Every structure is written in structure tokens, then in C-alpha cells.
Amino acid sequence: MPFAESHRHYSHLLMIYPLYVMNPDQAENRDLIIKSVDHWMGMPDALRGYSYTGASSICASIGRRDEALKYLKMFVDGGGNGRFPCLPNTMYAEAGPVIETPLSASRSLQAILLQSWGGTIRVFPAVPESWKDVTIADMRCEGAFLVSAARRDGRTRWVRIKSLAGEPCRVKVDIDEPTTGGDLLLKKSPNGTIDLTLQKGESILLIPRGEKPDTAVEPVAAQENALNSFGLR
């Protein structure tokens, strides 16, 4: 059955998100993923808030950073036409209250900041260029890991990972020459991942080679020219 008319749900794309059965690590599927989400969003008549949060999460999973933010903002703003906006208290309604949609938006934001699927933790996988400063603290990942990290001026300055169960740890970070604080560089695989050995309760700090960043967890200042109640621009 072809997807030939607009529909708000993405049931036909569940293999992409949230199941990741088809994912961007599979080179043979990447173009099809992009074509599928663009085709779905290219028929806007029946799209609603849940459509935009789903599209945001899918775009985040394939690294389309600006699109992930665009669709998250479209949810907040009511799809660009203001019909069904997210209210300042995060509530959302169409014919009546729709609690799953703002919860889905929270998940979209998490996908922009941190992902864990396919046995890999991905730190800041879809942070858009406009978000120069980002801080996360103790976000939980598959495999029972807590991740804290910070970006400043558009660069990832440090990542701390704590293992709560001693499970295998594979992480992908956008630090060119990551170290644990000394001169020894951590070996990256061809796809950019690093395998770490962490015992239960053990933590590791990843930083750029030759740098000693401040690893204090601090709030990020609100953007002065934010366009809405949530600080997004």
C-alpha cells in the first residue's frame, strides 16, 4: 500500500524510529530513510504536533541537525500556522488534550542531545550550529550509563561517562583527538566510535588532547533573541 496521502502518524516509519532496525549506520538504507521522511513531511495537510516531534527525532537519528530543530520549532509554533501550538506550560491540545505529544517533544530534544541505540552512545549527535553552548548532566543511556557533557563556542569540551552496571561501553563523540587527560590518544574505529572498559561504578572523562577544560556542570545562559517561551530560536 503506497503512502499516498497525508497522515499525522509515522506508523510506516517505525523501523527507522524508535526501533532503529533501519538506521544511518547502514549505508544501503540512508538514502531511503531521508526520502521516506521527506515524502511524509511533504504532504502537510493532516500533520499535527506529533508529526513534527516524530520528524524531529528521525532527523536527529540521521544527523540532520537543522531539520531536527526546525521540526521541533514547528511543533512549538503550531506547525508554522499557529493552529495547534505548544502552550507555555508545555500542554498541547487539538480536539482535546494530547499528552503524548509534549512528551514526544521531550524525547525529540533528548535525541538531539544524546542517543543510545545499536550498542553505541552518541553524544551531541544532532546539536544544531545555532546552539553554541550546551550542557547535559547525568542523562541515562541504554546499558545503564550516566552521561554528562558540555559544548562551548560550538565545540565539545568534555564528556563524562559513568557505568552503573559494568556493561560494554562504546561511545561516539565529536572530539577530534580525545584523551582521558594524558597524552595517550584513544583509538577510534573507522566509524568514529571508541570502545571503553568501565567497571560497575567507574567513570571516565574524555577531553580534547592538550586541553584542560573546566568540567563543572553549569547552566547555559538563555538566548537573548529567543523567539518563544522555551528559549528556542
pLDDT digits (tens, 9 = 90+) for 136-159: 999 999 999 999 999 999 999 999
Across 18-27, 78-87, 90-99, 202-211, least confident range: 78-87
Whether 76 and 36 have beta carbons less than 8 Å apart is answered as: no
Instruction: Answer whether residue 220 is part of any domain.
Output: no
Instruction: Answer whether residue 224 is part of any domain.
Output: no
194 and 106 within one domain:
no
Domain extent, residue 132, equals 119-208
39 and 61 within one domain:
yes
| DSSP summary character for residue 80 | I
134 and 108 within one domain:
no
195 and 169 within one domain:
yes
What's the structural domain count of the chain? 2
H helices of 24-168, in order, are 27-41, 49-61, 65-77, 100-113
177: CB partners within 8 A, 6+ apart = 185, 208, 209, 210
106 and 16 within one domain:
yes
196: CB partners within 8 A, 6+ apart = 161, 169, 170, 171, 186, 204
Instruction: Answer whether residue 125 is part of any domain.
Output: yes
pLDDT tens per residue, range 5-62: 999 999 999 999 999 999 999 999 999 999 999 999 999 999 999 999 999 999 999 9
Of 62, 92, 114, the last residue of a domain is 114
103 and 160 within one domain:
no
Of the pLDDT bands very low, low, confident and very high (cuts 50, 70, 90), residue 1 is: confident
pLDDT tens per residue, range 180-210: 976 667 888 888 899 999 999 999 999 999 8
> Among 111, 52, 58, which Cα is nearest to 79's?
52
Instruction: Answer whether residue 227 is part of any domain.
Output: no
133 and 69 within one domain:
no
pTM of the model: 0.91
At 228 the pLDDT is 64
The C-alpha cell of 51 is what?
Answer: 508529526
**What percent of the chain clears pLDDT 70, i.e. is strictly above it?**
94
152 and 76 within one domain:
no
Instruction: Answer whether residue 226 is part of any domain.
Output: no
Whether 88 and 229 have beta carbons less than 8 Å apart is answered as: yes
